[in-house]
């Protein structure tokens, strides 16, 4: 099914079917948030929590129709459920709403690997310098690019891929409203970025990181349709707001363990007191700290 054909009606139909059918082969999730079995295309199945929420709404409507006096209690229950759904969407590491990779696989962790990932690029002033530092240390990483920025600087994205890094999807527009999009808008935005990045690199992204890690109930079915896996992170340094390289490095390194996914930004990087992008100050220290711990930086695969 093409992205533009994936309508609100299709998603609602799936959710309704799910809410009315008692246990439909629930997916199992590995510790790292990756799906154990794997689903493709139309095989999307909601998480147990989403199924429970759908049933709660369906039963609530039926109960309110049969016993009008219970409306207050039912309304309160549904409102509480909505608060939990919204909270799960606002918490980037949550797996309640769907598949979400917050760590590398146990096999990668056993090999002592940690992932370096960069968001919000490409940035013509910063990304080439980030690539230089990575080359200097012989390190490969994942770059979650914003589609419209990739179109504005295709040569940087092409160079990123040519140097052996992974180019992944970070939405097309990076809208603050991404977490409020319906199925159609999500599918359209993500698909547009897929097309742009594939056209530039010749390789279709397999991972998506939601803008600011915020999402909603509709993202999981859309990603399943587009054969994308949602990735968040294990630790981040807040390098878009903090201008102290030492503090950012410490946040990333303190408690660092094999299997961690680290989040940095080549786009939107805060400048330090000397006006330099903090990511360029942090990166060499971070790579050296990773090596000192006997760990190996890798892209997310």
Among all residues, which ones are annotated catalytic?
119, 265
Check if the beta carbon of residue 76 is closer than 8 Å to that of residue 67.
no
| Residue carrying structure tokens 């799960």 | 88
Minimum separation from the CB atom of position 143 to Zn ion (A): 12
Beta strands in the chain (DSSP E): 113-121, 142-145, 166-169, 207-208, 229-230, 235-236, 261-265, 296-298
Q: Identify the residue among 32, 35, 113, 120 touching Zn ion (CB under 5 A).
A: 120
Of the two residues 11 and 278, which places its CB atom closer to Zn ion in the complex? 278
From the list 6-14, 74-82, 90-98, 209-217, the region that binds Zn ion by CB under 5 A is: 209-217
Q: Does 189 bind Zn ion (CB under 5 A)?
A: no
Distance between CA atoms of 278 and 108, rounded to whole angstroms?
28
Check if the beta carbon of residue 187 is closer than 8 Å to that of residue 3.
yes
Minimum separation from the CB atom of position 197 to Zn ion (A): 15
Of the two residues 60 and 121, which places its CB atom closer to Zn ion in the complex? 121
Minimum separation from the CB atom of position 260 to Zn ion (A): 19
Backbone angles phi, psi at 236, to 5 degrees: -140, 160
Of the two residues 27 and 149, which places its CB atom closer to Zn ion in the complex? 149
Residues binding Zn ion: number (CB under 5 A): 3
- Residue by residue, DSSP assigns 216-263 as -TTHHHHHHHTT-EEB--SEE--TTT---HHHHHHHHHTT--TTBEEE
Residue 233's closest CA among 208, 269, 262?
262
Of the two residues 171 and 249, which places its CB atom closer to Zn ion in the complex? 171
From the list 33-41, 113-121, 129-137, 289-297, the region that binds Zn ion by CB under 5 A is: 113-121
Distance between CA atoms of 217 and 6, rounded to whole angstroms?
15
Helix (H) or strand (E) holding 58: helix 48-66
Of the two residues 214 and 280, which places its CB atom closer to Zn ion in the complex? 214
Q: Does 123 bind Zn ion (CB under 5 A)?
A: no
Check if the beta carbon of residue 123 is closer than 8 Å to that of residue 266.
yes
From the list 47-55, 89-97, 206-214, 221-229, the region that binds Zn ion by CB under 5 A is: 206-214
Of the two residues 54 and 283, which places its CB atom closer to Zn ion in the complex? 283
Minimum separation from the CB atom of position 122 to Zn ion (A): 13
Minimum separation from the CB atom of position 209 to Zn ion (A): 7
Q: Does 119 bind Zn ion (CB under 5 A)?
A: yes
Minimum separation from the CB atom of position 176 to Zn ion (A): 10
Helices and strands, counts by H and E, the chain? 11, 8
Residue 187's closest CA among 158, 226, 151?
226
From the list 5-13, 96-104, 116-124, 292-300, the region that binds Zn ion by CB under 5 A is: 116-124
List contacts with Zn ion (CB under 5 A).
119-120, 211
């Amino acid at each position: 099914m093409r992205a533009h054909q994936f309508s609100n009606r299709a998603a609602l139909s799936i959710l309704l079917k799910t809410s009315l059918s008692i246990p439909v082969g629930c997916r199992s999730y590995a510790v790292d948030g990756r799906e154990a079995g794997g689903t493709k295309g139309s095989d999307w199945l909601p998480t147990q929590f989403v199924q429970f929420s759908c049933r709660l709404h369906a039963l609530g409507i039926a109960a309110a129709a049969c016993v009008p006096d219970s409306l207050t209690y039912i309304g309160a229950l549904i409102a509480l459920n909505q608060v939990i759904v919204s909270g799960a969407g606002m918490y980037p590491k949550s797996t309640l709403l769907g598949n979400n990779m917050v760590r590398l696989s146990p096999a990668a962790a056993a090999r002592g690997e940690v992932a370096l990932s960069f968001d919000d690029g490409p940035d013509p002033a910063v990304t080439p310098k980030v690539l230089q530092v990575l080359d200097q240390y012989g390190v490969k990483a994942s770059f979650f690019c914003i589609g419209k920025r990739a179109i504005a600087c295709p040569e940087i994205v092409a160079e990123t891929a040519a140097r052996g890094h992974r180019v992944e999807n970070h939405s097309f527009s990076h809208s603050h409203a991404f977490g409020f999009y319906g199925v159609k808008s999500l599918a359209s935005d993500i698909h547009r970025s897929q097309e742009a990045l594939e056209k530039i690199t010749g390789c279709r992204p397999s991972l998506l990181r939601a803008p600011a890690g915020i999402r909603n109930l509709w993202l999981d079915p859309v990603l399943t349709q587009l054969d994308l896996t949602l990735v968040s992170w294990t630790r981040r340094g807040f390098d878009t707001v903090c201008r102290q390289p030492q503090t950012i490095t410490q946040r990333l390194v303190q408690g660092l363990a094999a299997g961690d996914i680290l989040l940095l930004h080549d786009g939107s990087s805060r400048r330090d007191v000397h006006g330099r992008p903090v990511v360029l100050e942090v990166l060499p220290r971070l790579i050296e700290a990773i090596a000192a711990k006997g760990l190996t930086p890798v892209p997310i695969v």
